[in-house]
Structure 1
Amino acid sequence: MIADPVATAGLVVREVRTGSRDGATTRLVVARRRYRTDRADLWQAVTDPERIPRWFLPVAGELHEGGRYQLQGNAGGVVERCTAPESFAVTWEMGPMVSWLTVSLAEADDGTDLELVHEAPVDPQMWNTFGPGAVGVGWDLGLMALGLHLESAAPVDPEAGLAFPTTAEGRAFVGAAAGGWADAAAADGDDPVAARSAAAQTTAFYTGTSAD
């Protein structure tokens, strides 16, 4: 799917933050990537229900403020805010688990910068095992697919996308992305050794390989 998986993973700037909501500690996974297209095109790619499935998942529902959406076989939630073509914010609901997603677009000299922020309550066991990469690598794969779609204007093959992490290219991509999230977690105060161990577990999860 991509010629240089490590370089492609490196297109994303990763940050981890610690926050709080309603008195509960949260962790924020922040991913930023520049796409070589104008903001109107990128906005359409991430909000148009006819175009989203070309790089992500089919989506149903009412895609406007106050409406509910549902991704096929994945999360659903409420559109909390939508300010075209600048940003939108939604809840990200998987069963009883609720987190929050914000996507913002900003014009740049040679394209458009996309910033994705996923905020979730802290599950200490899950975080200690997988770190931010549990969520972050999934978004890395989505942002990669978005880039492929924007470059070609063609849909990304869903079957190839699902199989990608188990290929040699995919394993290199996931490993580089998980390592980037480990560095971001350490920068936010996590123990660097524990963060690297969590990255290895995340890589094994996504690629179906051993963490050893």
Structure 2
Amino acid sequence: MDFVDEINRAHHELVDGERKVFTLRRRYDAEVKDVWDACTNAERLSRWFLPVTGELKLGGSYQLEGNVGGEILRCEPPRLLKISWLHGENPGFSEVEVRLSAAAGGTLFELVHAVEVPPDFWSSFGLGAVGVGWDLALLGLGLHLSTGEGRIGAQAFHLTEEGRRFITASAQMWGRAYEAAGGSPDQIATTVAATATFYAAQEEQS
């Protein structure tokens, strides 16, 4: 698999406003029901994303190990899942919606994350601070659908040369999405560099 090419397989889009709304859209060579199961089955989620606990049904709550938690707001198998995506004691507004549809013998996967971002954090990191993480997640999902595995972190992907190229390409792609949304060239350059540096620092600590 050409990991950097995986970035180009996804459409990256930003709507800038009081709430930042960003969208990732790509096609997988798998049936809708299989992609849905990979995204909602706790055992499969632990293979490509993170272990999850909770009451995994409409109105229930979930917790990703060492990460975010929230409530299941909508669940319409096998097409739509909407959850709150909360981190910390005062996280503000943050919701993630996943939409699946049949496309060219496979599945069109669309992820929409609407979030209120503190202005100082946004000016420092921009969309890439969150977007790179989602690109890594979608890469893991693609590996899982094709091989049955897919835990990028477990494979020390961040420590590899391919991992560094992937992270840099992802940050640059989100920079282009920020430009299309009206971001200034100076701020885009700053946020892309800061995002890539942040993930590099995480690699060194691993």
With normalisation by structure 2, the TM-score equals 0.92
| Corresponding residue for residue 39 of structure 2 | 46
Structure 1 segment 3-42 matched on structure 2, within 5 A: 3-19=1-17, 25-42=18-35
> 1:33: how far off?
1.4
Structure showing the higher strand proportion among its residues: 1
What CA distance in whole angstroms lies between the structure 2 residues aligned with 1:193 and 1:110? 42
> 1:189: how far off?
1.0
Overall identity of the aligned pairs, in %: 43
> 1:110: how far off?
3.0
> 1:153: how far off?
1.7
1:91 to 73, 84, 104: 84
> 1:122: how far off?
2.8
> 1:165: how far off?
2.1
AA aligned opposite 2:69: G
2:154 to 146, 159, 181: 159
Aligned length: 200
Q: Secondary structure of the equivalent of 1:105?
A: strand
Q: Secondary structure of the equivalent of 1:51?
A: helix
| Corresponding residue for residue 146 of structure 1 | 141
CA deviations over 1:152-203 (Å, ceiling 9, x no partner)? 123536421xx31232101100111110100001111111231122011101
Which blocks of at least 5 consecutive residues in structure 2 are unaligned? none
Q: Secondary structure of the equivalent of 2:131?
A: helix
> 1:4: how far off?
2.3
The reply to whether residue 106 of structure 1 matches residue 104 of structure 2 is no
Q: Is the 8 A contact 1:170 1:207 kept in 2?
A: no
> 1:106: how far off?
1.1
Which blocks of at least 5 consecutive residues in structure 1 are unaligned? 20-24
What CA distance in whole angstroms lies between the structure 1 residues aligned with 2:115 and 2:11? 19
AA aligned opposite 2:160: T
**RMSD after superposition:** 1.5
What CA distance in whole angstroms lies between the structure 2 residues aligned with 1:59 and 1:5? 26
What CA distance in whole angstroms lies between the structure 2 residues aligned with 1:179 and 1:166? 19
Q: Secondary structure of the equivalent of 1:52?
A: helix
| Corresponding residue for residue 134 of structure 1 | 129
| Corresponding residue for residue 79 of structure 1 | 72
Q: Secondary structure of the equivalent of 1:73?
A: coil
What CA distance in whole angstroms lies between the structure 2 residues aligned with 1:186 and 1:40? 35
AA aligned opposite 2:115: A
What CA distance in whole angstroms lies between the structure 1 residues aligned with 2:149 and 2:119? 40
